[in-house]
């Protein structure tokens, strides 16, 4: 979701003191993990590990990796 798009919607609604930002770190999941083939589970585990280590040393909030958007505004 585009933060500027959300900010424009809040402005159109007449809200004031608008704060919009991404929060939390990446989320990666695999549906029905036990039913997936071994190669898929291994790929998932390696990918998850690499991303987890990368984010641990280089923390940042991004559109691609943040699972939540926080919007606070006043009427």
- Phi (first) and psi of residue 41, to 5 degrees: -65, -40
Rg (CA), the chain: 17
For the whole model, what pTM was predicted?
0.58
Domains identified in the chain, total number = 1
Per-residue confidence band for 6, with pLDDT thresholds at 50, 70 and 90: very high
12-31 per-position pLDDT tens digit: 999 999 999 988 766 677 77
Task: Tell me whether residue 44 is exposed, middle or buried, using C-beta atoms within 10 angstroms of its C-beta: 0 to 12, 13 to 18, 19 or more.
Answer: middle
Spatial distance between the Cα atoms of 43 and 48, rounded to a whole number of angstroms: 8
Give me the domain span that covers residue 36. 3-74
- Using DSSP, state whether 58 is helix, strand or coil: coil
Per-residue confidence band for 7, with pLDDT thresholds at 50, 70 and 90: very high
36-75 per-position pLDDT tens digit: 899 999 998 998 888 888 877 877 667 777 778 899 998 8
């Amino acid at each position: 979701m585009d933060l500027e798009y959300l900010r424009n919607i809040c402005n159109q609604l007449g809200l004031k003191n608008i704060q919009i930002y991404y929060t939390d770190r990446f989320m990666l999941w695999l549906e029905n993990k036990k039913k997936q083939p071994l190669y898929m589970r291994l790929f998932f585990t390696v990918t998850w590990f690499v991303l987890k280590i990368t984010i641990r040393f280089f923390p940042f909030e991004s559109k691609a990796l943040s699972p939540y958007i926080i919007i606070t505004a006043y009427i």
